[in-house]
Amino acid sequence: MAEQNNDSVRRAKDAALRKHNPGASRKQLVLWLGALVLGAILGWLGIKPLNDLFNFIATVFTRLFQFIAVPTIALAVITTLASLGGKRETKRIFAHAVTYTLLTTISAAAVGLVLYLWIAPGNLPAEVVGAGAAAVPTDKVGSLSYYDHFLTVIPNNILQPFLAGNVLSVMIIAASVGLALAFMPKTENRAVLLKGLYGIQELLFTLIKAILWALPVGILAFSGQLAAQVQAGVIVGALGKYVAVVLGGNTIQFFIVLPLFLLARGLNPLAVFKKMSPAIAVALFTKSSAGTLPVTLASAEVNLKVNPKVSRFVLPICTTINMNGCAAFILVTSLFVMQNAGFELTLGTMIAWLFIAVLAAIGNAGVPMGCYFLTLSLMSSIGAPIGLMGVILPIYTIIDMIETAENVWSDASVCAMTDHDLKDQLDKEPAVSAS
């Protein structure tokens, strides 16, 4: 009975958390846009002390997001599975999330393949590829074979995945603990443990709200940092057609394909985008889906009013497996590297690599440059010359930013569609029994 009362209190708090003030949201959005523009102008001026300050503030915010992201993922999965357990709700939510994830990820890779065939990037001069070999971080190649990548997902102790920020390992631990709590006897010890977990989760959401309050300062710094890099020539578009394929595919997926998915489920893409824009903005600058998760959760529940049963289960999963931008990058980059290496690229080979890219993206962790190193590992494993990866490296910063924003936009879309599809069914389900 005590557990039922705790669950009722928690539901009431969740409802209070999701109350939406349209005026406050508009004011917040204007403030963030203003910080974005002001940061870009100040960064473009090239004032060194100011740029150093921007770098410091950006590093602080990135560390704060990293600090809070992993425990947020773990607690969201644990408490949701502990509540839902083996109920039909769990299966429905999981089935919808995985279905939409596969559909959107395959469509992103397919868009990239079509653009690659249409734009048809040519080969780079051998001397350019050879020069790029010096820039390849070869220390990552030996330790990142695809076999080893999956093996490292299996944790051998409980602390290491949290210390290393291994999101997939954390998900495995959290899912195991959540399901164990769901099926263990309903004793007083279990109730006390759950109460403590819910308390820590409330504490984390309070910290997230504090970070969101200070976020305009972070956006100002991130925007200034990026503008300074562009002004200094750090980010250059030297690969023409290849860049057009990657960024063009991301743009089509972002502005056309994902909105079409939302429209097909009866949702307004503009409304969903507006309410999830804080998370998309943070993703753009942090270049980490996992690091953005606290903001994605808060935006989904406070702005989009998604049922916490859905958001706290779907979003951590999507952060791990729903990598639209990564799938497109892996496919296009792999084809480009293999083409320059003289591999025969038949249509059948390209389609096979489409599914390899999708599977690789699903297995990739949502961390900065994760897609780059995974692609580097794949190319190394098939014996392709990896010098071209060094040529790509200087422009990967901007690619990574756009990819991550697309990934989080896709996460938000999957969450919104799942919530929309199951809204009536979840509301009609009885509360979790304590017996």
Q: Measure the CA–CA gap between 298 and 305, rounded to whole angstroms.
A: 10
Q: Is residue 56 part of a domain?
A: yes
| Per-residue confidence band for 236, with pLDDT thresholds at 50, 70 and 90 | very low
Per residue in 146-162, pLDDT tens? Answer: 566 566 677 888 888 88
Report the pLDDT averaged over residues 164-175: 78
Contact predicate 331/112, CB 8 Å: yes
**Mind spelling out the 3-state secondary structure of 362-422?**
HCCCCCCCHHHHHHHHHHHHCCCCCHHHHHHHHHHHHHHHHHHHHHHHHHHHHHHHHHHHH
More confident residue, 351 or 2: 351
CATH number of the structural domain spanning residue 375? 1.10.3860
List phi, psi (to 5°) of 149. -60, -45
Whole-prediction pTM: 0.75
Q: Look at residue 367 and tell me if it is in a domain.
A: yes
Domain-embedded: residue 432: no
**329 or 19: whose pLDDT is higher?**
329
Which pLDDT score is estimated for 401?
Answer: 85
Average pLDDT over residues 423-435: 53
Assess whether pLDDT exceeds 80 at residue 238.
no
38-57 average pLDDT score: 86
Residues across the chain: 435
Sign of CA pseudo-dihedral 163, 169, 174, 179 = negative
């639209």: which residue's tokens? 324
More reliable by pLDDT, 355 or 91: 355
C-alpha closest to that of 288 among 363, 400, 397: 400
Count: domains in the chain: 1
Q: Is 328 in contact with 109 (CB distance < 8 Å)?
A: yes
Confidence band of 24 (pLDDT split at 50, 70, 90) = low
- Among 134-138, 139-143, 175-179, which stretch is predicted with the lowest mean pLDDT? 139-143
Kindly tell me if the per-residue pLDDT of 26 is higher than 90. no
CA–CA distance, 435 with 430 (Å, rounded to integer): 13
Residue span of the structural domain in which 203 resides: 1-423
Q: What is the mean pLDDT of residues 292-320?
A: 90
Q: Write down the pLDDT at residue 163.
A: 79
Name residues whose C-beta falls within 8 Å of residue 62's C-beta, 6 or more positions apart in sequence. Answer: 286, 288, 291
Q: Answer whether residue 315 shows pLDDT above 90.
A: yes
CA distances 218 to 73, 182, 212, 240, Å, are 22, 39, 9, 32
pLDDT value at 354 more than 80: yes
> Looking at residue 282, what is its pLDDT?
85
Is 430 contained in some domain?
no
Mean pLDDT, residues 208-231 taken together: 78
Q: What integer best gives the mean pLDDT of the chain? A: 80
Which tens digit of pLDDT belongs to each residue from 369-381?
A: 778 877 887 787 7
What integer pLDDT is reported at residue 375 of this predicted model? 85
Give the whole-angstrom CA distance, residue 291 versus residue 300: 16
Amino acid letter, residue 206: T
CA distance 144 to 285: 25
In a domain, 429, yes or no: no
Three-state DSSP class for 175? Answer: helix
Residue 434 lies inside a defined structural domain of this protein? no
Position 215 in a domain: yes
Most confident of 8-12, 83-87, 343-347, 407-411: 407-411
pLDDT score of 68? 81
